Amino acid sequence: MEPELLSMVPRPVCAVLLLFPITEKYETFRTEEEERIKTEGQDVKSSVYFMKQTISNACGTIGLIHAIANNKEKMNFESDSSLKKFLEDSLLMTPEERAKYLETYEAIRVTHESSAHEGQTESSSSLPSSPSSSSQPPFSPCRTKATPLCRSASLSWVKRNHVGPAKATSPSIRLRRWRPLIHHPSVGLHSVAPSLDEKVDLHFIALVNVGGHLYELDGRKPFPINHGQTSDDNFLEDAVEVCKKFMERDPEELRFNAIALSAV
């Protein structure tokens, strides 16, 4: 997340997915933040696409939907894209109705279940590994094939600060419907979804630019979080500042991963 490294990311960047650990410190902060916003209020544009998470261990899927839904005009969807149809059908729904619709949306469920059974995560010696040091553990990059869901829109993903395969958190409501797979083929990030009964402590959220404001979209929260003004030119740097705040709240944690949705 140093400026000289961020300068290597293709621009413009329209979304950032952040993976971070759910810790006691974070949960305390989250509760305090929600109470503060409920008391003081905030400005959230009606054009922000936001949905709740009601499917266990599906935060990566929700993050991808948030990232793409708030940047539809920048995407090139296939004509028969299931993801495009889902976004069109759910456009006028409430966040809760979108979550309920996803629970029963067969096309996305089947795609993810099929991908989850295709194979295992595998380390790739063809990809560069991080420099080893006494203070930072090494990691093994991963590779896998693209899923039909990811192929339904033309995307270019740039990986930063990868710390290993990740599993997604569960919301308070636990459903036994389907097991999504987090799959980012062009950077080789492959995370097989855990079982619905498995307790995990990592979570994905999306940071997006909608109407010149930077929003944090987290399906576990009751509403989007407005982090202030941004622009197409400065969005990546502004999003990184938000990511750094997550890291500063847990300075002893190393389990952070940021992925940028950027131009080809």
Active site residues: 59, 203
Q: DSSP code of 40?
A: H
Run of H or E including 82: helix 82-90
Quote the crossing angle between the two packed helices 24-40 and 235-249, to the nearest 10°: 120
* Structure tokens, 92: 């006028």
What CA–CA distance (Å, rounded) separates 119 from 259?
23
For residue 228, the tally of other CB atoms under 10 A from its CB is 11
Q: How far is CA 147 from CA 58, 182, 197, in A?
A: 16, 10, 24
158-181: burial string, b at 16+ Cβ within 10 Å, e else: bbbbbbbbbbbbbbeeeeeebbbb
Give which of 95, 128, 102, 254 is closest to 180, Cα–Cα: 102
What CA–CA distance (Å, rounded) separates 27 from 32?
9
Run of H or E including 204: strand 202-210
